[in-house]
Chains A and B, each alone.
Chain A
Amino acid sequence: MIEVIKGSLNKQISADKLKKALDDYGFTGYLYFGEPILPTENSLIIVDALLITKEKGLLIFNLVENEDIEDYKKLQDEYANRMRSKLLNHDEFIVKRELQVEINVLTFAPFFSSADLPESDDFYKICNEESLNSHLESIQIPNVEVWNENKYYEKLLSAIQSMSSIKTNKKRKSFNDSSLKGSKLKTIEDTIATLDFEQNRAVIETTASIQRIRGLAGSGKTIVLALKAARLHLLNPEWKIAITFSTRSLKEQFKRLITNYCMRHQQEPNWENIHVVQAWGASGNQDQYGLYYAFCKEHDLKYYNLSEAKSKFGYEKAFAAVCENALKGMTKSKPLYDVILIDEAQDFSLHFLKLCYELLDQPKRLVYAYDELQNLSNMSLPSPEEIFGKDVQFDTTDPSQDIVLKVCYRNSRPILTTAHSLGFGIYRNNNEKIGTGLVQMFEHDKLWTDIGYEVLDGDLIGGTDVSLGRSKSSSPEFLENHSKLDDLILFKEFETIMDQNQWVADEVEKNLNEEGLLPNDIIIINPNPLTTYDSVSPIRKILIEKGIRAHIVGVGSSPVDSFFLDGQSVACSGIYRAKGNEAAMIYVINAQDCFRADYSNNLAQIRNRLFTAITRSKAWVRVVGIGNEMEYLMEEYSKIKNNNFLLNFKYPTNDQLKHLKLINRDMSPKEKEKIEKVRGGLSILIDELKNNKIQIEDFEEEQIEELLFILTSKRGE
């Protein structure tokens, strides 16, 4: 079976004919169209088709679509030479300075009759559909034993895949001691360095329409998006491309990834045509350019800056409202871009997504990526038809339009299932009123398999026991095999905050001085946004006293700021800014704040914070805290461990689901305020009655009856 990956190629007909012809052979391998992109002295060439099979090795095709055979010999030379160049960069193919894999080249000209075809010689081969067979036969792997022994097929695949990816690894020291954390980390990073097939395909395949990329956090969406943008830019240098995102710190990351990819192809990115920009934007220098601002300017609409938007539309929905407003005011569509790529689409209002759609010329090439599991209870985003209108052509069965990145490359199976367990409250003590301990649940049970879980036993049916576990393919073992379980995840309780802080600082010191980790391998996260700076400052102080640089991640106040600064400092952050970032070692402090709901946040939100914090980890996580609630949290974790990191629970009934949804519904600040006020009033009432400051007789008989009635009847529901 040959897997086909279709990059952009305008030789559609001959490509289809080639594909059809090759289908009959029963090869095992991959067929790329319009890939790889190979740098030449001054520019780039794009390979028409590339076949990599176990049986035949590497075969490059030059496709001839029309009558003009061009200078096919020269082209074949180019392909072969550039490919050879690229492969010579990979030591695994070289023995005694010679390339061990053959580079076969064949020109495929399906519109030429056999009579008109030029003569093939030993070196330059050209064929049509009829003569394809004999040419394929003549390609033989010189020494099949050597080929298999050295796994040249797998290595070729890896090499080709790496051509459409980039090495993002930091430079690490090599360690002699492989038990050191630093050494383990290097191995993990090297293994992840190549894109997998799905990611590869997501980068290369484009459609002349909407493309949706979704997956778990840590499935590589940001990198895929960046590479995609860079690739489109290289292939279409005159196109106007915009890439946007919600978290400010991503701007640098995108610029870096795009630059790296372009430089690997010996091109510099032209920032005039590829814009890495934020969503809102303001007037002023280049750096403040944004898509909303551009939209307003181009369509001659009133632009609202933040304070204006706040006062006119309110704080909460300010951005959504101004986008909606702008869309309403648009009379005629004035497109600005050929392609727009949106990362973290779940953080944007639908109005903004629509606005981007309007900024595009036909065909509407919009690529949006989002975390399927940002919000543990719901589908993050509605369907493309719901967002962009029924006219949009979106086929969920077309893998080039709807891409799901199932493999999580960041979190190992134990860490991910722990995060999901705690986030959903799988092993939380039963709430007798509702009959389940669950905190939240997916509305659509299909999501479980979408994000890489298997139903090992039972069913996802209300009232039934079910057992879910991560499949090996969606949670690669190399992510967990490097360390003992108790080293991967550690929960620890302390007597006092000071004890907690001292322990964390001491551990960080060990990580850096004894275990070979770098400062930017570590993040210290505090889950409660109201206490972050108070909580991390004392730890930072101890670190400074130890001579270790540490910083608090604040607002990106100038273009040079980023999450990890210069990489020589340990980052201390709250949840909000930690989102989207990752590190090998994560310390979640004050985890006791994640056990119970507080009056202004519901339990789902609280547990979501813990979920986000834990899933920042690429390797190891330490969850620490104080007090009873930390103890209860640790009890929940020990249940997860005892269940072997499987999710064993009774799937909630529809009624239970409804209830969960209600108590965890999104509340506007006004609603929250009202509830707070009323709760406060109720507390006072109870107090005053208890202490006889008010008497029951002070109330009207009717009122008391009414109240009793409401309380008893509503409670019975």
Chain B
Amino acid sequence: MPSHIRSLRTNIQTLTEKISEHRICFDSNVPIISGNGNWQYSITVPNETNVFLKNNLSYREIYDSMVASRFFNLKMIDGALINLQYLFENEDIIKHRLSFYPSPYLIEYQNNSELYLRDDTDEEYLQANEQNVVFPIRFDYDIKTLGSNHPISHLTLGRYKDCRIPVSAALTPFHFLSFVIENFYSIEFKNFVPCDRSCYSQSILDFEAEKLHINLPIYN
């Protein structure tokens, strides 16, 4: 197995431990590597399901199913689920799915941290209410889409089916996790210091870059 796949898995594990150290991660799973014999290796968590592909299910059902089967890398203080899955063929990354699935049952940590940080807060006060907007996001990378209209690396917001905001390259675990912490758990970001300067090479096409898109940091 190519060594960089092993080190990517270790990278995810290290980041998991780092985030766990600082109060906002309540549960996690150890990432594993599984090979399918065709020189393909995936980094995922045990109990992988494809439930989030099922469009006929409600968001609640998908969320419940992921929690029940423990299909997540990180489960946050407000119930949000973070998943990181990577697929490699030999040396190259061919696919990733990095998702942030907030809980449909609870209010967000970012807007209500004082309520969350006391463990004697009555559960009733953390229940989702009319102020809530539950909004999953996913960063997908799929080399197979080359040649179609879809950007290889893209961001999907909510459950809008053709939402594919072009992204300049594949995301490293650090890109994704620091993005999530900085934007959805902002007060914790100061604790999240690892500075990882790795990145994947650009995959965005010129015409895609002329639209509104997301530029990942490029380190030289």
Contact = CB atoms under 8 A, between A and B. Distances in A.
A139 B35 CA distance: 73
B20 A540 contact: yes
Given A529-B120, A575-B120, A555 B17 contact: no
Contact of B79 (A532, A533, A553, A555): A555
Contacts of A1: none
Given A552-B26, A565-B27, A537 B20 contact: yes
Contacts of B103: 557-558
A552 B26 CA distance: 5
B91 interface: no
A375 to B, nearest CB: 15
B28 A574 contact: no
Contacts of A552: 25-27, 77
Contacts of B90: none
Chain B's interface size range is 20 to 34
Contacts of B20: 537, 540-541, 544
A576 B117 CA distance: 13
Contact of B67 (A530, A533, A560): A560
Contacts of B105: 557-558
B68 interface: yes
Interface string A530-560: 1011100110110011010001111111111
B123 interface: yes
B23 interface: yes
Contact of B125 (A306, A537, A556): A306
A551 B27 contact: yes
Interface string B103-129: 101100000000001111001111101
B21 A541 contact: yes
Nearest to A551: B27
A561 interface: yes
A280 interface: yes
Nearest to A565: B27
B45 to A, nearest CB: 12
A265 interface: no
Interface in A274-316: 280, 282, 305-307, 310, 315
Interface in B26-45: 26-28, 30
B22 interface: yes
B125 A558 contact: no
A576 B129 contact: no
Nearest to A543: B20
Counting chain B CB atoms within 10 Å of each CB, the highest count among A315, A541, A554 belongs to A554
Contacts of A530: 117-118
A199 to B, nearest CB: 30
Contact of A560 (B21, B68, B119): B68
Contacts of A82: none
Contacts of A282: 127
Contacts of B30: 544, 547
A532 B30 CA distance: 24
B23 A537 contact: yes
Contacts of B63: 558
A557 B108 CA distance: 12
B219 to A, nearest CB: 27
Given A537-B25, A541-B21, 6 more contacts: A307-B129, A534-B23, A553-B26, A557-B103, A560-B67, A575-B119
28 contacts: A305-B129, A306-B125, A306-B127, A306-B129, A310-B125, A529-B120, A533-B77, A534-B22, A534-B23, A541-B17, A544-B16, A544-B17, A547-B30, A551-B27, A551-B75, A552-B25, A552-B77, A555-B79, A555-B126, A557-B103, A558-B63, A558-B67, A558-B105, A560-B64, A561-B67, A566-B70, A569-B27, A575-B120
List of 6 A-B pairs having minimum Cβ-Cβ separation, nearest first: A574-B119, A557-B79, A533-B23, A529-B120, A552-B26, A551-B27
